[in-house]
A and B are shown apart, each in its own frame.
Chain A
Amino acid sequence: MNGEGAIQLNGKVETVFTSLLDPEVLKNCIMGCNELNKKEENVYVADLSVGVAAVKGKYDATIRLADMQPPNSYKLIVNGEGAPGFVDAEALIQLVPIDGENTELKYTYEAQVGGKVAAIGQRMLGGVAKLIIKDFFKKIKKELEKVNIAE
C-alpha cells in the first residue's frame, strides 16, 4: 500500500519541523496513541490502539527518524507489532515554505501490513490510512496554532 499527499500548515518551516518531532505533539496528534516516549535520539517508542475493520488491537511501535535535513525533510520509519499483526511503514516528509507564515508539507508513504490485519482488514486499509493521516494533520494544525500563539 502506498500513497502521497500535501497539506498547507500554518507556521514557519522551522516551527513546523520542530513541532513534528516533539513527542508530546506527536502523542496528541496520532490517533489511538496511548503513550509515546523518546527512547534515544530520533527513536521513539509508542503504544497505539488502532482498529481496522474488525481487527482492533494494540501495537507496540517503534518510530525512527532518519535522513534528517532540518528544517526541510526527514524520513519517518514506523514498525508496529501487536496481536492483530504488524505494520511497517516508511514516509518521506518534505517541508516547503510558502511564505513567512505558512508551510507546505508533502508526504509520500509506503506501508506493509501482515497477519490478521492484512487478512481481514485489507479492504479497509487504504481508507483507514487516509483517515489516520487526515486526522493527524487536523490535530497538527491545532497544535501549531498553540505554538504560534505562544510565539
Chain B
Amino acid sequence: MSYIGKPIKRIEDARLVSGEGTFIDDLSPLPNIHYAAILRSPHAHARIKKIHSEEAAKLPGVKGVITGEEVAALTRPFPVGVKAPVKYYPIAVDKVRFVGEAVAVVVAKDRYIAEDALTLIKVEYEALDPVVNIEDALSPESAVLHDEVGSNIVNHRFFNYGNVDDAFKNADHVISKKFSFPKVSATPVENYGVIANYTKSEGAYTIWSNFHGPFTLHSVMTAALKVPSNRLRIITPKDIGGSYGIKSGVFPYMVLMGVVSRILNLPVKWIEDRQENLMASSSGTDRVSWIEAAVKKDGTIIGLKMKYADNVGGYIRAPEPASLYRTHSNATGAYRIQNVEIEAIAVVTNKSPTGLIRGYGGPQHYFPLERMMQIISDEIGLDVIEVIRKNLITKEEFPYHTATGGIYDSGDYHKALNLALESIDYQGFKVRQKEAWKNGKYLGLGFACIVEPSGSNMGYITLALTPEERSKSLPKSGCSEGATVSIDPQGGISVRISTVPTGQGHETVAAQIVADALGVDPITIRVVAELDTLTSPWSVASGSYSSRFAPIGSSAVYQAAQKVKLKLLEIAKNQLNTTLDELVMDNGKVRMKKDPEQSISIKRLVGLAHWNTEGLPIGMEPGVHETAFFTLSAAKSPNEMDIVNGSVTYGFVFDAVEVEVDIDTGEVKILDYTTIHDAGKLLNPNIVEGQIMGGLAHGLGAAMYEELAYDDRGQFLTGSFMDYLCPTATEIPKVTIKHIETPSPLTPLGAKGLGEGNTMSAPVVIANAVTDALRPFHVSIDQLPLSPDRIWSKIHNENTVKI
C-alpha cells in the first residue's frame, strides 16, 4: 500500500474544524504576561521632535512606555544583503518613514489599558516631503529618506547574458513597453502575534511567534539583539492561521517585543489587529518594468532587455531585495531566449516595507513578460499560440539551462499547452468572439505560460551584490532542511519537521511519506510541526517559503524515514539471520522476500532497540531516533558571471482564461478559468487542489481588486477590508484544473513545489484576456488591478471611438 500520491484527508483538519487548533493568541506559556500596544506614525515622512509619554505612563495599570531611543540603545540595525547603509530598527528612531511605523510601545496589565494609554501620548513631528512613486524615487531630485545612503536607490545591478547587441541588430521587430504592478498584500485570517520573554540570568530571549522563517532571519534577529545565536530561542505555535509569506515580516516585532520585555523585565504579549496588518505588516513590492523584445518575423524571440525597479518601502529589510532576484534564473520564463539584459533596481519610498509574499517577484515578473507575448503576436500579425509554441522549450531540451543560470529539471510544456487548447475549444472561441462583438458583447481569451520555481537556493539572494563584493565574503548555497523520525519504546512513531506549515498540510504529507517508508498506516503517526530553535532539526534555509516543502522538506522527511527503515532492517537481518536484500518491510512487519512466513514485527524490532539492547547487532546504538538533513547540489552559489540556479525545481503552469467586459460599467467577469499544472509527482492531490485554488484566488485579487493604495502625500488609503478589497468565494470563477506529471529527476519523490504558480499567472492572464476582449477599442492593459473605473477610463477616455 502506497500513500504518496493518494488524496488522503488532512490530519490537521479535525482539530481545526473542532476548535482545537492552537494559535499564537491561544498561548499563555508563562505567568504574569503583560500586553503591548503600539503607537504608530500618522505621517509618511517626518522628523520626531519630541515624544511626551508622561501622561500615558501615569495611567493605572501601565508598566512602561518604550520609545525608539531606548530600543536603539540595546540593539543594532537589522543587517540586510545590500551595501546601502540603511539603518532599520524595529521602531522609529529620530524619523518616521511610513504611515504606521512604530513610534512607541505601551505595556500594561491588559490590552484595553495599553490601547487607552496610546491616546495619551503626544508626539511632536516636523513633516518632511514624502516620496511615494517609484519613478520619483529614481530621480535625484526626490527627498532622500536615508541621509546615509544619499539617494533613494538602495540596490542597483546590471546583468548581461549571451549577445544582446547582436540579437537586437538582427531583429526584424523591436518592441518596447512599460508596465506597472501594484503593491499587494496577502491577508491571512490570523494577524501577527508575539510573546517575548527576556531572562536576565541567562542573557537570553525566548520568543513565541507565528513566524515561519526563512530561518536566515534568525541570524538577522540575533545580530539586531546582539546575542549569541543560542540566546534567541524561537518557538512557533502548533497552528498558524495562514501567511502566504506575509508573516515572515513579523520578525521586527519579535525583536521589538524582546527588547521591551528586557527593558521592563516582564513577559510581553502583542497581537496585531487588522488595521495594523494592512497598514504596516508587509506586502509585495510594487514594480515598474521596462521591457524590450528583439523578435524575428516568424515570431522567434531572440533577445530581451528588462529594466525593473521594485519599491521596498521605507526601509529595505531582509530578505529584500530578493524580490528582484527570485525570478532571475527563470527570467525568460518558458521560452528559449539566450540573449538577455537585466537592470534591477530597488528603491525606498514612504510606503510600508515589503517582504515575502506568495509568488515572490513572480507576479511582477510575468506581468510584463507574458503581456509581451500577446503584444508581439499582434505586432507581427501571428496567432499568440503560434508565437508561444515557437518559443517554448521542447521536452527534448530538458534539463534546460537558461541564459541566466537556471537549470529547468524537467517538463513537457507543449503537452500542457495542447491539453489546455483541447479543454477550451480555441477555434470555436474565435468565432464566438467575433459574433459577440457584433452584438456589443466583449469576450476575450487570454493565455499565460509560467515556469514556477520552487525550493529556493540560498545563493540567489547574493545576486544583489556584484561578483567583486560577493568575493569578499563566504559564498552562500544550498537549500538545507532537516527532519527527525523517531520511534518510542512502545513503537509509537513520531516525526519532527522544521518546515513551519502555515496551513499547507505538511503534517499530513510527512505522515504519508513515513507511512510508505515503514509500511504503516499514516493515521498511527504523529507529526510535530512546532519549531523550537533549541530542539528542532533546523538549518538556515528552514521554514515555509518558496514552495519548498514538496521538493526539499518532504525529501528531508523521506531521508530520515529511510534511515529509520535501514536501522530496523539491520536489526531484522540480525534476528532472521539473513542479508538486507532478502528483506522487505510492509504491513508493520519485516519479512523474507522468499518466505513470507519468516517475519518479525516492527514493534518487536523497536522493542529490541529500547528494551533488550543485547539483541542488537554489535556496535549498533540503542533507540530509534534518526535525523536527516537534505539539500541538492543543483543549489550552487552564483559564479563570477552572475550565473545562478535560483531554485532546485521548476514546475509549469499554462492558463487559459475567458472573460467578458461590460463596456458600460468597466466590469470584468471571468467566464472560465482553465489551468494546467505540472508539479512533477503529486504527493497529495487533495492538498494540491487547495493550494492551486488558494494561489489562484491570491492572483485574482491582484488582477482585479487589491492594492495597498497611497495618496500623493504618502497617506495610506486602504486600511480596512472595505477599502482593500479581497476576492471572496462569490468572486471566484469556475476553475478547471488539470495535471500532467513530469517527475523531477532531482528529488527522491519526484515532487516539485506548487501553489504559487497561479499567483504569478492570474494577474497577467486576466490582463491578456481583457486586452483581447477590448480589441475593438485598442485598449492595452499595462497596469493593475483591473478595477471597473480603470477599465472604463481606458475604454472611454483614451479612445475617440464612439459607442
Contacts and interface: CB of A to CB of B under 8 A. Distances in A.
B99 interface: yes
A34 to B, nearest CB: 15
Given A83-B118, A83-B119, A119 B718 contact: yes
Given A54-B720, A58-B119, A112 B275 contact: no
Interface string B97-124: 0011000000000000000001100100
A113 B720 contact: no
A112 to B, nearest CB: 6
- Describe B's contact surface by its main secondary structure: loop
A54 B273 CA distance: 14
Interface in A81-129: 81-83, 85-86, 112-120, 122-123
B43 A119 contact: no
B722 A115 contact: no
Interface stretch (B283-291, B682-690, B708-716): B708-716
A117 B42 CA distance: 9
A60 B52 CA distance: 14
A45 to B, nearest CB: 13
A57 interface: yes
18 contacts: A57-B119, A81-B122, A82-B119, A85-B42, A86-B42, A114-B44, A114-B715, A115-B40, A115-B42, A116-B42, A116-B275, A118-B99, A119-B278, A119-B279, A120-B275, A120-B719, A120-B723, A123-B723
B119 A118 contact: no
A119 B275 contact: yes
Contacts of B711: 118
A119 B722 contact: no
Interface string B709-735: 001010111111011000000000000
Interface of A: 54, 57-58, 60, 81-83, 85-86, 112-120, 122-123
Given A116-B275, A119-B720, 19 more contacts: A81-B42, A81-B122, A86-B43, A112-B713, A114-B42, A114-B44, A114-B715, A115-B41, A116-B42, A116-B719, A118-B99, A118-B719, A119-B99, A119-B278, A119-B279, A119-B717, A120-B719, A120-B723, A122-B717
Contacts of B275: 116, 119-120
A123 B722 contact: yes
Contacts of B122: 60, 81
B606 to A, nearest CB: 58
Given A83-B119, A114-B99, A122 B723 contact: yes
A67 B100 CA distance: 35
Contact of B716 (A81, A112, A119): A119
A86 to B, nearest CB: 5
Nearest to B116: A83
Contacts of B118: 83
A77 to B, nearest CB: 15
A115 B43 CA distance: 6
Contacts of A82: 119
B720 A118 contact: no
**The 4 A-B residue pairs with the shortest CB-CB distance in the complex, in nearest-first order:** A115-B42, A119-B719, A83-B119, A85-B42
A81 B123 CA distance: 9
A32 to B, nearest CB: 16
Contacts of A83: 118-119
Interface of B: 40-44, 99-100, 118-119, 122, 275, 278-279, 711, 713, 715-720, 722-723
A1 to B, nearest CB: 10
Contacts of A86: 42-43
A83 B41 CA distance: 10
A118 B100 CA distance: 11
B342 to A, nearest CB: 35
A83 B106 CA distance: 14
A57 B115 CA distance: 13
A82 B720 CA distance: 20
Contacts of B44: 114
Contacts of B719: 116, 118-120
B722 A118 contact: no
A109 to B, nearest CB: 17
Nearest to B118: A83
Nearest to B100: A119
A114 B720 contact: no
Nearest to A113: B715
Given A114-B99, A115-B99, A120 B119 contact: no
A114 B713 contact: yes
A123 B41 CA distance: 21
B54 to A, nearest CB: 16
Nearest to A1: B711
Contact of A114 (B43, B119, B718, B723): B43
A60 B122 CA distance: 10
A116 B713 CA distance: 14
Contacts of A58: 119
A119 B721 CA distance: 11
A2 to B, nearest CB: 13
A82 B123 CA distance: 10
A81 B49 CA distance: 15
A118 B716 contact: yes
Nearest to B278: A119
Contacts of A117: 42
A26 B43 CA distance: 29
B727 to A, nearest CB: 20
A82 B719 CA distance: 18
Nearest to B40: A115
Contacts of B42: 81, 85-86, 114-118
A113 B720 CA distance: 16
A116 B274 CA distance: 12
Nearest to A54: B720
A128 to B, nearest CB: 15
A54 B275 CA distance: 11
Contacts of B723: 119-120, 122-123
Contacts of A85: 42
Contacts of A81: 42, 122
Contacts of B713: 112, 114
Nearest to A117: B42
A82 B121 CA distance: 9
A113 B714 CA distance: 11
A81 B52 CA distance: 14
| Central interface residue in B40, B718, B720, by most chain A CB within 10 Å | B720
A137 B319 CA distance: 55
A120 B720 contact: yes
Nearest to B279: A119
| Central interface residue in B99, B100, B118, B715, by most chain A CB within 10 Å | B715
B717 A118 contact: yes
A98 B723 CA distance: 44
Contacts of B41: 115
A131 B453 CA distance: 54
| Central interface residue in A54, A82, A122, by most chain B CB within 10 Å | A122
Contacts of A120: 275, 719-720, 723
A57 B116 CA distance: 11
A60 B119 CA distance: 11
A56 to B, nearest CB: 11
B119 to A, nearest CB: 4
A83 B40 CA distance: 9
Nearest to B115: A83
Nearest to B716: A119
Contacts of B716: 118-119
Nearest to A82: B119
Nearest to A87: B42
B780 to A, nearest CB: 30
A54 B723 CA distance: 13
A119 B273 CA distance: 14
